[in-house]
Structure 1
Amino acid sequence: MTRPPAYDLAAEQAVIGAALLNPAVVGDLAATLAPVDFHRPAHGLLWETLCAMHAAGAPVDPIAVAARLAETGDLAKVGGAPYLHTLIAAVPTTANAGHYARIVVDHARRRQVADLGAYFADKANQGADVADILATGRAMLDQAATATSWSPIIPLGDRRHLPDFPAYVLPDWVAEQVYAVAEFTQTPVDLAGCIGLAALSTAAGGRAEVEVRGSWREPVNLFTVVVLPPGSRKSAVFAAMTGPLLVAEKALVEKTRPAIVEAELAARVAGKTAEKAAIAAANADASGRDTLLAEATAAAMNADAVTVPTLPQLVADDVTSEEAASLLAEQGGRLAVLSPEGGIFATIAGRYSGTPNLEVFLKGHAGDMLRVNRRSRAPEHVEHPALTLGLAVQPDVLREIADMPGFRGKGLLARILFALPENTVGRRKIGADPVPEQIAAAYTANLGAMVATLADWTDPAVLCLTPDANERVLDIERAVEPRLAPGGAWGHIVDWGSKYTGAVVRLAGLIHLAQHLRDGWGKPVTADTVEQAAILGEYYAAHALAAFDDMGTDKTTRNARHILAWIERTGSTTFTKREVFRALKSAQLPTAGDFDGPLATLEAHGYLRQLEAPERPRTGGRPPSPGYLVHPDVHRLPAPVHALPASSRSA
């Protein structure tokens, strides 16, 4: 039979309430009562805050505690300021605080023993080695009987528990497609969301820019890169989110074909006329040659002036820098490179030429004039190039690109909006509902309308900001600047952080155009739209810190994160080295010895606690595998927020 976990909510409330009424209680109980001993996560968070404030000599009262929680963004997680007063009201007397604490600790130990029992049953049902189960179990029981408080976890970095993609800030027709595709493919919302933004960038890139102040203008094209391991169904998501662009591209081609036929015919006629005029001038006598020569010259100029339109192309896949430059020139400065693979990074790093060529991508993001030299024609230039990049790469590619020549130094990485979502492989729902037909149809129609509305613009449409929107952008600049200072939160990614406000403005421009599909160019961008973009900006800032951290970390730390991800994915509270080796053995971690360093790193950071080594069986055989306990906080962090109701997304 399954029994509910042991806990006493009234005792938990009483001990915290007593601490709020009598701060001396915190010092008396901090050594024996740990945040992990509370069953309710909000109570554990409150106790952790009280202990930290008491240790720092800060006053511990409801007002001060509420202010501290508001600063850290945790006030809502504990129920708000009114809940603090509820806790105080729940205290019969502060003199019994020690008694309440013993009740909380006793229940925590009972839950730990219950967890150990579940562990034994699970391992036995799995057919694990009996000697391992018994030896490890004795050590775990001994540890449970003399359990001491866990120390706070020292984070490995910002890679863990990153925010989910806030698709709810996008226009409904985009958000609904993102959530539906993520549900059907059982992939992180981040993947469909980032590729959806790349699709909007493809539709609008090169045809609009946001005027911030003075000469500061931001084109609305983006570089997005999602990092996911193999087998994550990236191709299926790409097909769903970018397929409508190919439909729109086909419509543009059909619309352009008659003009191409007409121009080609006009070019042939003008060419023949120029040829006849040249022959006539060549055969004329001296008296009439000047007039015929002038007519031949005019005919030749007329023939040269006939321009044959190029078949529209919105999307390319794995192209070289030279091919991308040529396509940009042919397509009037607009092109998107969209791919569920990251091979293009190696291509532009010089896979074929041996020499890195980043200029097209740097200028294509910034909108700086690009000159294209062709073998058969005179040099051409693109006044306002707008290149969109939408990729999904494997984690190994992310680590490789940091070492590619010029990628960091010349600023390519600073232009990328990174997303490092949690991998869902192994936890996917089988038989998920397909994307509703009406949602897919609306996404296809609206994306096509966005392409068609802006396709005929030669000069970019200029989107202005309302005064309130401009003030909101100034607020973002004020918040970002201190983070870029030496020692600031973004001091080590100042190249990326310096482009942060511009990225938010670009996101605001795309959201604005997607909200006003057919007349967005005639309306100003509002403060609400900038606020929606700022929420996306915060998401990308957190993921950028993780991406640059991942690119710079050593192999041991990366492998430690790999093991930690397995712990979180499986929900393990205890495990042996042999179990994690069997689960994660790979080219990255080929031998059992390769796990020693990462496990030691996790133990040093407080994520794990190694159990006392079991005795070697007297009957001989292999020694029992070392066992580990997992810090309870690893599994106590808030669950990710997924789909929201349509009313919430449109709010």
Structure 2
Amino acid sequence: MWEEPIPLTGPRKLAPFPIEALPGWLREFVAAVAEETQTPVDLPGAIALSVLATAAGGRSVVQVRGNWREPTNLYVVVSLPPANRKSAVFGLLTDPLYEAEEQLVALHQPAIVEAQMTARLAKEAADKATAKVASASADEQDQMRATAIALAQTAESVSVPAEPQLLADDATAETVTSLIAEQGGRISVMSAEGDIFDIIAGRYSGKPNMGVFLKGHAGDRLRVNRQTRKEYIEHPALTMGLCVQPQVLDDIGRQDGFKGKGLLGRFLYSVPESLVGRRKSKPDPVPEQVKETYHRHVIDLTLFLADWTDPALIQLSPEADDSLLAFQERVEPLLAARGGSLGHIADWAGKLIGATARIAALFHLAQHLTRGHTLPVTEATMRDAIALADYFTSHGLAAFDVMGADPTTERARSVLDALRANRWREVSKRDLMVKLSRSEFPTAADLDPVLALLEDHGYVRAQPVHRTGGRGRPPSPRYAIHPRLTDPTA
């Protein structure tokens, strides 16, 4: 007798967005935006994390323990079908960042103008001195040449600061690198579309260019040496807040350039259910006071941290560290390659504890604004961050299902197709190999984990191997096939 086989990957039960974990003023605005736009609360909630990371990324770090520190920038991507008012949500969430950017430009404009004037005068003086060298007498040339060189060096040393910029739309890797260098080590890419993935994959260059996107998340040193420019960034901090259509995730999974590079393991994924077809026609608008408070707090936090050269150091209280350690001990066994529920996305899950510490630091800064660096992160704040981490774990598994992160499961589907097509009731491993693609199964050993998975799910049963005792090749293992694969009505 055969029991009903277990689907290889059925629809996952996705965790609801834990809006109660957000700091009070942020929670109120996120809920109000979700109501007015009639979108899943996941969308404004996830993008709100990117807003906090834009305000604090590159200007603060969280001390986890020992030499372990995490920057506070984040990569967040939300997957939603069309007609979900993504642009409206992005506009409401990012408006105060643009306001803060305008204020920073106004604050720095006098210094920029002064530096531009100094650079112009220095260059003019150097040019005049250089011109005089050619017409000087032999006795004067050495002295005038030395003067011209000194003035040229002075002109070269005058640095004109770039106009402050917090946000960039979809941009090439080269543009992002230059912006990070110009903006003191940080920039944020926020977009309601998924074009950035096409750009990373090589839309313009013809090949993937992921260096800045890999190092910009971790804060690893970034050095660019080209004929036209040289740029060195000690601790780059790139933040990304994106919303893409589900098809984009599927496309990413099919592009070899993304697999094995580690970029997909840096994103926090949200794949909420669309509300299209169930939306109110006349929802409540965002209360003006809630909107004003959100704008003021985002601007205050951004302006407070904007000019920090040494990043603000966020400390964990002993109780917060204990909570994070307990979470780490809960997650670690799940990373096991065999039997671990996160083993097939260990690259992503291995960064989960660091991401949790980053989220806790951002929540802490949102709670205390200009005093966050003077107070330790509390246990309650860490618990809220862990609630977000559990949410992103649930949705990350679903996202990686779409992107085909588990090669064993993908290969198992190929074997099921072969079993259905050939209508075997029983088959040897050797005969099965004949029907499979050698590019997908180069050796018989590549088939072993797939058959083990299919047996665990009740699609096949290993049969006893009867040895004859004679010489020659041993008999190939045989497998009985679930009747449902040969007769769907069985």
Shift of 1:155: 6.8
- Equivalent position to 1:310, from 162, 175, 190: 162
CA deviations over 1:557-603 (Å, ceiling 9, x no partner): 9xxxxxxxxxxxxxxxxxxxxxxxxxxxxxxxxxxxxxxxxxxxxxx
Q: Give the aligned partner of residue 252 of structure 1.
A: 104
Are 1:189 and 2:41 matched, yes or no?
Answer: yes
Q: Give the aligned partner of residue 211 of structure 1.
A: 63
Q: Give the aligned partner of residue 472 of structure 2.
A: none
Q: Give the aligned partner of residue 265 of structure 2.
A: 414
Q: Give the aligned partner of residue 363 of structure 1.
A: 215
1:453-472 residue pairs with structure 2 within 5 A?
Answer: 453-472=304-323
Unpaired runs of 5+ in structure 2?
Answer: 414-456, 459-490
- Equivalent position to 1:393, from 214, 229, 244: 244
8 Å contact from structure 2 (residues 36, 283) kept in 1: yes
Aligned residues: percent identity? 55
The structure with the largest alpha-carbon Rg is: 1
1:323-338 residue pairs with structure 2 within 5 A?
Answer: 323-338=175-190
Q: Give the aligned partner of residue 164 of structure 1.
A: 16
Counterpart Cα distance in 2 of 1:373 and 1:454: 30
Counterpart Cα distance in 1 of 2:260 and 2:8: 26
8 Å contact from structure 1 (residues 226, 391) kept in 2: yes
Greater shift in the superposed pair: 417-426 or 306-315: 306-315
8 Å contact from structure 1 (residues 220, 507) kept in 2: yes
Shift of 1:495: 0.8
1:419-498 residue pairs with structure 2 within 5 A?
Answer: 419-486=270-337, 487-498=339-350
Unpaired runs of 5+ in structure 1?
Answer: 1-150, 558-603, 606-651
Q: Give the aligned partner of residue 81 of structure 2.
A: 229
8 Å contact from structure 1 (residues 158, 546) kept in 2: no
Counterpart Cα distance in 2 of 1:389 and 1:282: 54
Amino acid in structure 1 at the alignment position of 2:327: I
Q: Give the aligned partner of residue 50 of structure 2.
A: 198
1:257-406 residue pairs with structure 2 within 5 A?
Answer: 257-373=109-225, 375-377=227-229, 379-406=230-257
Cα root mean square deviation, aligned: 2.3
Counterpart Cα distance in 2 of 1:286 and 1:528: 78
The number of residue pairs the alignment matches comes to: 408
Q: With the length of structure 1 as denominator, give the TM-score of the two structures.
A: 0.60
Greater shift in the superposed pair: 366-375 or 187-196: 366-375
1:91-240 residue pairs with structure 2 within 5 A?
Answer: 157=9, 159-240=11-92
CA deviations over 1:146-167 (Å, ceiling 9, x no partner): xxxxx99967747443111112
Q: CA 1:156–1:447 in structure 2 vs 1: closer, same or farther (change >3 Å)? A: farther
8 Å contact from structure 1 (residues 179, 189) kept in 2: yes
8 Å contact from structure 1 (residues 271, 300) kept in 2: yes
Counterpart Cα distance in 1 of 2:382 and 2:191: 29
Q: With the length of structure 2 as denominator, give the TM-score of the two structures.
A: 0.79
Q: CA 1:517–1:374 in structure 2 vs 1: closer, same or farther (change >3 Å)? A: farther
- Equivalent position to 1:520, from 359, 369, 372: 372
Q: Give the aligned partner of residue 566 of structure 1.
A: none
Q: Give the aligned partner of residue 107 of structure 1.
A: none
Q: CA 1:546–1:323 in structure 2 vs 1: closer, same or farther (change >3 Å)? A: same
Q: Give the aligned partner of residue 509 of structure 1.
A: 361
Secondary structure, counterpart of 1:501 in structure 2: helix
Shift of 1:376: 4.0
Counterpart Cα distance in 1 of 2:317 and 2:135: 68
Amino acid in structure 2 at the alignment position of 1:395: P
Q: Give the aligned partner of residue 416 of structure 2.
A: none
Shift of 1:455: 0.6
8 Å contact from structure 1 (residues 187, 233) kept in 2: yes
Counterpart Cα distance in 2 of 1:469 and 1:244: 30
1:42-53 residue pairs with structure 2 within 5 A?
Answer: none
8 Å contact from structure 1 (residues 207, 458) kept in 2: yes
Q: Give the aligned partner of residue 425 of structure 2.
A: none
CA deviations over 1:25-62 (Å, ceiling 9, x no partner): xxxxxxxxxxxxxxxxxxxxxxxxxxxxxxxxxxxxxx
Q: CA 1:158–1:389 in structure 2 vs 1: closer, same or farther (change >3 Å)? A: farther
Q: Give the aligned partner of residue 433 of structure 2.
A: none
Shift of 1:529: 1.7
Q: CA 1:284–1:215 in structure 2 vs 1: closer, same or farther (change >3 Å)? A: farther
Amino acid in structure 2 at the alignment position of 1:380: E
Shift of 1:234: 0.8
CA deviations over 1:108-153 (Å, ceiling 9, x no partner): xxxxxxxxxxxxxxxxxxxxxxxxxxxxxxxxxxxxxxxxxxx999
Amino acid in structure 2 at the alignment position of 1:502: G
Q: CA 1:374–1:315 in structure 2 vs 1: closer, same or farther (change >3 Å)? A: farther
1:482-631 residue pairs with structure 2 within 5 A?
Answer: 482-486=333-337, 487-552=339-404
Counterpart Cα distance in 1 of 2:387 and 2:184: 32
Higher relative contact order (CA 8 A, sep 6+): 2
Shift of 1:191: 0.2
Secondary structure, counterpart of 2:370 in structure 1: coil
Q: CA 1:287–1:158 in structure 2 vs 1: closer, same or farther (change >3 Å)? A: farther
Counterpart Cα distance in 1 of 2:175 and 2:98: 19
8 Å contact from structure 2 (residues 178, 231) kept in 1: no
Counterpart Cα distance in 2 of 1:261 and 1:295: 26
Q: CA 1:272–1:152 in structure 2 vs 1: closer, same or farther (change >3 Å)? A: same
Greater shift in the superposed pair: 279-288 or 214-223: 279-288
Q: CA 1:419–1:155 in structure 2 vs 1: closer, same or farther (change >3 Å)? A: farther
Counterpart Cα distance in 2 of 1:491 and 1:376: 44
8 Å contact from structure 1 (residues 356, 405) kept in 2: no
Counterpart Cα distance in 2 of 1:179 and 1:172: 11
8 Å contact from structure 1 (residues 329, 381) kept in 2: yes
Counterpart Cα distance in 2 of 1:248 and 1:264: 23
Secondary structure, counterpart of 1:435 in structure 2: coil
Counterpart Cα distance in 2 of 1:326 and 1:338: 17
Amino acid in structure 2 at the alignment position of 1:357: N
Secondary structure, counterpart of 1:516 in structure 2: helix
Counterpart Cα distance in 2 of 1:496 and 1:513: 25
Counterpart Cα distance in 2 of 1:526 and 1:276: 62
Secondary structure, counterpart of 1:402 in structure 2: helix
Shift of 1:214: 2.4
CA deviations over 1:63-122 (Å, ceiling 9, x no partner): xxxxxxxxxxxxxxxxxxxxxxxxxxxxxxxxxxxxxxxxxxxxxxxxxxxxxxxxxxxx
Counterpart Cα distance in 1 of 2:353 and 2:106: 39
